[in-house]
Amino acid sequence: MPSEPVVHVIDDDEGVRDSLSFLLDCSEIATRTYESASQFLKAVPTMEHGCIITDVRMPEMNGLELVAKLKAIGVTDPVIVITGHADVPMAIQALHAGVSDFIEKPFSDEAILLAVRTTLARQQSRGEMELERDAIGKRLATLSGREREVMEGLIEGKANKVIAYDLEISARTVEVYRANVMTKMGARTASELVRMVMIARLV
């Protein structure tokens, strides 16, 4: 009989580690905490399987470097990246590197619990991912050509003014298209939009 999954929390901020551990424990999800990527890597050979939560910005080895290292040594447990607003471009890199999800700070208890539960569920069944991808694909199909162009700029982390320059339209027009994209996609933040597009493009 397989053991219960464990969530491995890696963050150099003790307060974040403790609060995440407490939240997950209260939700009957087993956790282990680590203050650095190197400490976690030492535990990898004997770790219980489940999923990994890591901050992007950490000393010595950051979250992206950890993701690359785990991939290199054959660790297949899904990774959830925690990122500050300014780290969205880094989170995009992480998604390209194959992470399961990323959560933008400040995040709610519900958001992190949903991400963890969804990630663990995907370990057992890919059906949910297929349904989510189909739903996102239908939303993408409602976008006009110009809205798609603006969306591409957004998921690349470009500012409205840069997108406006690239498309030879006004910044105000970009704001209108951006609002349309967010509404049609059902995305509340740029990071949510990036996540949706990356899921839709998974092979």
Please name each of the domains of the chain with its CATH number: 6-124 (3.40.50.2300), 131-200 (1.10.10.10)
- State how far the Cα of 17 lies from the Cα of 20, in Å rounded to an integer: 5
**Is the pLDDT at 127 greater than 60, yes or no?**
no
Describe the crossing of helices 145-155 and 190-200 by its angle, rounded to 10 degrees.
Answer: 110
Q: d(Cα 174, Cα 146) in Å, to the nearest integer?
A: 9
Which 3 state secondary structure label does DSSP give 55?
A: strand
**Arithmetic mean of pLDDT over the chain:** 87
Residue 86: the pLDDT is 61
pLDDT of residue 1 exceeding 60: no
SS3 7: strand
How large is the C-alpha radius of gyration of the chain?
A: 18
What pLDDT digit, counting tens, does each position of 167-176 carry? 999 999 999 9
CA neighbor of 122 nearest in space, from 51, 200, 68, 191: 51
The answer, yes or no, to whether residue 125 has pLDDT greater than 70, is no
pLDDT at res. 60 = 87
Instruction: Give the β-pairing of 50-55 and 30-34.
Output: unpaired
pLDDT number for residue 2: 46
Q: What is the pLDDT of residue 164?
A: 95
pLDDT at res. 3: 64
Per residue in 38-95, pLDDT (tens digit) is 999 999 988 888 899 999 888 888 888 998 899 899 888 899 988 876 666 776 777 7
Judged on CB neighbours under 10 Å (0-12, 13-18, 19+), 134 is exposed
* C-alpha separations of 70 from 86, 99, 128, 164 in Å: 24, 11, 25, 39
Rounded Cα distance, 116 and 18, in Å: 16
Residue 199: in which H helix or E strand, if any?
A: helix 190-200
Contact (CB, 8 A) for 69 and 99: no
